[in-house]
Amino acid sequence: MIDPLQNLLGYALRRASAMTLAELNVRLEAFGVRHVDASVLLLISQNDGITLSKIGEILGIQRANMTPLVARLEERGLVIRAPIDGRSHGLSVTTTGADCVADITTTMNDHEKSLIARIPLSHREAFRSALDALWTPTHHTESGD
Binding site for DNA (CB under 7 A): 18, 22, 25, 34-37, 51-54, 60-68, 70-71, 85-89
Is 26 an interacting residue with respect to a second copy (CB under 8 A)?
A: no
Phi, psi of 91 (to 5 degrees): -100, 140
CA angle at 107 for the pair 40 and 103, rounded to the nearest 5°: 70
Min CB(17)–DNA separation in Å? 10
Is 84 an interacting residue with respect to a second copy (CB under 8 A)?
A: no
Phi, psi of 83 (to 5 degrees): -60, 130
Q: According to DSSP H, which parts of the chain are helical? A: 9-28, 35-46, 52-59, 63-75, 95-118, 124-135
Q: Which of 1, 64, 68, 87 binds a second copy (CB under 8 A)?
A: 1
Give the residues lining the site for a second copy (CB under 8 A): 1-5, 8-21, 24, 35, 39, 42-43, 45-47, 50, 54, 58-60, 108, 111-124, 126-135, 140-145
